A and B are shown apart, each in its own frame.
Chain A
């Protein structure tokens, strides 16, 4: 199934009451592709990631992951809404990093990173710790492994959160404005980790970001969302230097002015 996209949104619709947040969204993401999702506030960027992480149910369409339906399952040749077990099995391929870190406050950095591998993957504690130690080293936090989240800076917490997600060996990583809650001087260290991830791992990555500079150099593709639709997308160099759509132009101009 290597020819199928890693992620496919097939006419996915999401509503909150009368508000249609995503309107029949079609989006394919290739294996190993790094996609930057940009767009104004309320355009549905977070919703896209949350649906893929199964934190939000969808109201129409199908999401496929690694060639297999995530939101649905096949029964007698027909797609029916997926049950819990199916969702859990397919969801194992996806990891997510949140804007507000969401580390477990009563656990050390190390404990945060071994909780899921030991309880979900059934890994031996020793093995899980060895792997977590490697990941914490990769994010530059070997020295802080026994610290609790409240003893870490925002940038450090976010790097632990990245290590924690990677410990589950996901094929797809979702990043939702992971630097937005950080003081400006801490943004760099987190982006540096993400950059290294892009180089060292064969990960498919989707990131919602307002860091246009980073999106431009890092992503293989930029997707501009506007009112629940992809308004324009393309290879970042041309997308950012020569946007075709008037809305994209307006948005980029506004972001640039804001600095």
Chain B
């Protein structure tokens, strides 16, 4: 059933692929978190943009991520946007989750009492200082859990990148299986890796949450 020799043979290669998966996750999440924040801020700073941002967010959330990945990778070139598979895939994941993150930030901003903005105006703080020092530090603690959940969800969707042949874990395991006709070991290892990483990240997120709460909310 389980071939240990084969397991040890494929482990190093899977290890390398895992690094690609983690890179895709982290870069994708950085894009999602910053672009999401930018969308939410734009919406507040320029109310006229609110409807177009809403349409964009709805569009992204109502279509499958896989289609968006294909769109950027295969349709992009006809608009002169030629990206390698990794870049295109990570960008698609980042933008997809940015739509979700922007809603998290928006809820965070909505929960700041109006008095905080008014006190900032009365103290003559600039809009930028108000965001940086007053508003954003207050929205972070309540949104960490939601953003953390999206980080884990994003991580679990990176196997979609195998659809455009990015050599992340899933694609590597698939190739191994097709070469040796043994799928049990690579697929099991990949599954275990995702399980372990998800559990670890969930624990880390919870720890971060507690730490932030202890520091910021009195």
Residues of chain A having any CB pair with chain B under 8 Å:
53-55, 88, 91-92, 94-96, 98, 100-106, 115-116, 119-120, 148-151, 161, 164-165, 168
On chain A, the residues within 8 Å of B119 by CB distance are 98, 102-104, 161
Q: Is the interface of B mostly helix, strand, loop or mixed?
A: helix
Docked CA distance A15–B198 (Å):
55
Partner of A98, one of B115, B125, B126, B217: B115
User: Closest CB-CB distance, B34 to chain A, in whole Å?
Assistant: 22
User: Closest CB-CB distance, B46 to chain A, in whole Å?
Assistant: 14
Partner of B125, one of A54, A106, A115, A165: A115
- Interface presence of B5 (CB below 8 A): no
Given A104-B116, A115-B133, are A53 and B122 neighbors across the interface (CB < 8 Å)?
Answer: yes
On chain A, the residues within 8 Å of B126 by CB distance are 88, 119-120
User: Closest CB-CB distance, B134 to chain A, in whole Å?
Assistant: 6
Interface residues contributed by chain B, number (CB under 8 Å):
19
Known: A102-B116, A115-B125. 13 other contacts (CB 8 A): A53-B121, A53-B122, A91-B121, A92-B124, A98-B118, A101-B115, A102-B119, A103-B119, A105-B217, A106-B137, A115-B133, A115-B134, A151-B218
User: Closest CB-CB distance, B215 to chain A, in whole Å?
Assistant: 9
On chain A, the residues within 8 Å of B113 by CB distance are 102
Judge whether B218 and A91 touch: CB under 8 Å.
Answer: no
On chain A, the residues within 8 Å of B133 by CB distance are 115, 119
- Interface presence of B123 (CB below 8 A): yes
| Closest residue on chain B to residue A93 by CB atoms | B124
Partner of B115, one of A53, A100, A151, A164: A100
On chain A, the residues within 8 Å of B218 by CB distance are 105-106, 148-151
Given A98-B115, A100-B115, are A120 and B122 neighbors across the interface (CB < 8 Å)?
Answer: no
On chain A, the residues within 8 Å of B121 by CB distance are 53-55, 91
Docked CA distance A120–B123 (Å):
8
Judge whether A102 and B138 touch: CB under 8 Å.
Answer: no
Judge whether A106 and B123 touch: CB under 8 Å.
Answer: no
